[in-house]
Amino acid sequence: MDPKLGRMTLKEWVAIKSDSVQPMPRFRQELFRMMAVAADTLQHLGARVTSVDMGSQQLPDGQSLPIPPVILAELGNDPTKGTVCFYGHLDVQPADQGDGWLTDPYVLTEVDGKLYGRGATDNKGPVLAWINAVSAFRALEQDLPVNIKFIIEGMEEAGSVALEELVEKEKNRFFSGVDYIVISDNLWISQRKPAITYGTRGNSYFTVEVKCRDQDFHSGTFGGILHEPMADLVALLGSLVDSSGHILVPGIYDEVAPLTEEEINTYKAIHLDLEEYRNSSRVEKFLFDTKEEILMHLWRYPSLSIHGIEGAFDEPGAKTVIPGQVIGKFSIRLVPHMNVSVVEKQVTQHLEDVFSKRNSSNKMVVSMTLGLHPWIANINDTQYLAAKRAIRTVFGTEPDMIRDGSTIPIAKMFQEIVHKSVVLIPLGAVDDGEHSQNEKINRWNYIEGTKLFAAFFLEMAQLH
């Protein structure tokens, strides 16, 4: 592959402002343009491409916006070969140069071997790396070692609107011949050592509303004679987690998978420089002192984070207000074998118990607004072995076998609906800054990542 060719295309793709998060017609037009460009690129490779109309999305304010199409594409249907399906997304998080970007986020800019631009690592770079790996076989006039399918969407950053219904509908058609599914939508845990990801945490997002009345109160007129909603809410939020990060909801740890010796050894083998990790995070001290404890609490134990309070006075200045109603927001990252609906019951019961002890006359409502299951794979599956071998070939090293502390719902969705092995093969370094200002992918990661995917096809062919 000519790196210039790949870079030029990445530059073109980054230039498209395919922001799915801000619900505005101009961004939707850009998303449709992005999907059309990708479909065209795949057609030029010789793929059979279908752009599936996904209908439209009703927004809370009453407006309706079209959902960009999902691309289903296939290359080769040789029954003697294995079939690998690649999932990627071409929508991005919002980006504005005024928010602290050092360069225009929509102009791919190379500085010291780093390619800066929104979507460079999440997820346009990895999608193009896979396409470039396929086109390398085409350019050499070599047969593809495996049959390849693509499912590419444009709404991942907005929750993959309507994708699950499509996967369900296509499970006995488009996915029927698929043997393995590959996702490349996360990062290594180091700057130079490649990784394979075999698990992600789930997420249960909660709101807890405490209400006295619709309007706020003046603290001079009412302070001292009310059950104040804010005081109730602060007590409720303060009852959820202690200062060592331990979740105080009774029973929450009951279903957490027991720790095995084999698993502990996996953590020991991972390269993580704690000092460098702490410095790059700009944090004075973590809750734990060893690499193993840090990794376990990021990946295999649940965590609870408090995100904010709606309805509270948060402007500069001194306003003597008693909020009439407030909503606290928090979430729990779930791990195997925790169950979303069990967690919902445990959290609700705990908050009701704490609230009843306060004898408050206010009304409290607990809601779970999002429930996403954790995902874990079997690292002895064929494609994990193939990915390991491919990494050895290209990088000359064993990969870190990692989990991801965040949630990638699509992995669990494919595993549950399509019942096929899913592997996450990240290309980006730990400091790529996905979702952040100055997102980048290193030129080295982009080019070596393309080689890695090509090597992976060859290894899959051997193991199949």
Q: Locate tokens 């027991």: which residue?
A: 258
Look at residues 255, 196, 200, 203 and name the one whose alpha carbon lies nearest to residue 376.
Answer: 200
Q: Locate tokens 């370094």: which residue?
A: 429
Q: Determine contact, residues 204/331, Cβ cutoff 8 Å.
A: yes
Q: Determine contact, residues 302/240, Cβ cutoff 8 Å.
A: no
Q: Which residues are annotated as part of the binding site?
A: 89, 122, 157, 185, 435
- DSSP bridge pairs for 339: none
Calculate ∠ Cα 305-310-314, nearest 5°.
100
> Residue 237: in which H helix or E strand, if any?
helix 229-238
Q: Determine contact, residues 229/326, Cβ cutoff 8 Å.
A: yes
Whole-number Å distance between alpha carbons of 397 and 409:
29
Q: Which residues are annotated as part of the binding site for Mn(2+)?
A: 89, 122, 157, 185, 435
Query: What type of residue is 206?
Result: F
Which of 19, 74, 91, 439 is an active site residue? 91
Q: Is 275 helix (H, G, I), strand (E, B) or coil?
A: helix
Q: Is 356 helix (H, G, I), strand (E, B) or coil?
A: helix
Q: Determine contact, residues 228/315, Cβ cutoff 8 Å.
A: no
Is 74 labeled as catalytic in the residue annotation? Answer: no
Kindly provide the residue ranges of all beta strands, DSSP E only, lying in 298-442, ordered along the sequence.
303-310, 321-322, 325-334, 363-372, 375-376, 400-404, 421-424, 440-442
Look at residues 74, 49, 184 and name the one whose alpha carbon lies nearest to residue 125.
Answer: 184
Query: What type of residue is 244?
Result: S
The per-residue DSSP string of 2-64 comes to -HHHHHHHHHHHHTS--B-SS--HHHHHHHHHHHHHHHHHHHHTT-EEEEE---EEE-TTS-E
CB count in 10 Å sphere of residue 120: 32
Is 179 labeled as catalytic in the residue annotation? Answer: no
N residues, the chain: 464
Which of 19, 30, 74, 156 is an active site residue? 156
Whole-number Å distance between alpha carbons of 112 and 422:
34
Q: Locate tokens 């998080």: which residue?
A: 93
Query: What type of residue is 155?
Result: M
For the stretch 218-225, contacts whose Cβ atoms lie closer than 8 Å and that sit 24 or more positions apart, written own/partner, are 218/320, 218/321, 218/322, 219/320, 219/321, 219/322, 220/320, 222/322, 223/322
Contacts of 282 (CB under 8 A, 6+ apart): none
Q: Determine contact, residues 47/73, Cβ cutoff 8 Å.
A: yes
Positions marked active-site: 91, 156
